[in-house]
Amino acid sequence: MDDREKDLVTYYPIIHNSVEIFATIIGKSRDQMECSMTPSEYIKQMLMCTQERINYLLKPGRNINIQSLYYNCGSLCFKVSPNIVLFQRFVPGNLYNMTLMIQNLTKMSRSLKLSRDPDPFFSVEYRGSNYGTMIAPGLVQIYNVRFSPSEKRDYEYYIKFISDIEVFMVPVIDYIDIILAIGLRPILDIPDQIEIPATAVKIPSSKTILVRNIGDAPAIFNFCSER
């Protein structure tokens, strides 16, 4: 590993909780996250390619409570679609794109400025001929988010949009959009339910199951039962 690669690894010391992310995307509350994600649902979410995930996030009527994961997200003035940008099952060296739309929900024109830090893997560009910082009521600004991974691992990036609302004479960061990329993961193919045959008192009973790792990384796991 050369110095540049070491710097990149230091820059991105990230391992996302994919169960929490997927539970939020499919509409689970924080209390439901750890206990209600079945193996089959996790496999379904994990095996989506980036284009399938884009289509899923942009489906009309999709309502994702991103604040259950990131408290500093959300806006009262703007609707952001999708409100989380997620890349998965990506191939290093390929270029991926996702459209980000921001709509002014208020009854007055609002100023909105894009603030982004330089990044070796992500870029954000305004899509249109004339970029303006004022958005009229009901109108939409469209941005193109590009992702070019160098290897299969987790990534994270933030886009900040600064509006004209002021608190203590300081511009408020109204919305922080989050871009995530999920890298290598083990994916265990396990039955959603394991039913052990009934038996008489003090007579052992057992059930044999097959567990397959259909993911891209080794897995270590334990079974826990409720009494």
The predicted pLDDT at position 78 comes to: 84
Q: Confidence band (pLDDT; 50, 70, 90) for 169?
A: very low
pTM, entire model: 0.74
Is the Cβ–Cβ distance between 219 and 52 less than 8 Å? no
Which tens digits make up the pLDDT trace of 139-160?
Answer: 998 999 888 988 888 888 878 8
- 3-state percent helix, strand, coil for the chain, nearest multiple of 5: 20, 30, 50
Is the Cβ–Cβ distance between 85 and 64 less than 8 Å? no
Which tens digits make up the pLDDT trace of 113-138?
Answer: 887 778 888 888 888 777 777 889 99
Higher pLDDT, 215 or 66: 215
The predicted pLDDT at position 216 comes to: 85
Which tens digits make up the pLDDT trace of 15-32?
Answer: 777 888 888 888 776 565
Q: Confidence band (pLDDT; 50, 70, 90) for 212?
A: very high
Average pLDDT over residues 188-210: 89
Host H or E run for residue 13 = none
Tell me the C-alpha distance between 82 and 59, whole Å. Answer: 9
What secondary structure does DSSP assign to 97-141, as a single string?
EEEEEEEE-SSS-EEEEEE----SSEEEEE-SSS--SEE-TT-EE
* Largest separation between any pair of C-alpha atoms in the chain: 78
The predicted pLDDT at position 182 comes to: 81
Domains and CATH numbers, the chain: 3-182 (2.60.40.10)
Q: How far apart are the first and last CA of the chain?
A: 49
Higher pLDDT, 11 or 137: 137
Q: Confidence band (pLDDT; 50, 70, 90) for 58?
A: confident
The predicted pLDDT at position 70 comes to: 62
Among the ranges given (59-68, 106-115, 180-189, 208-217), the one the predictor scored with the smallest mean pLDDT: 59-68
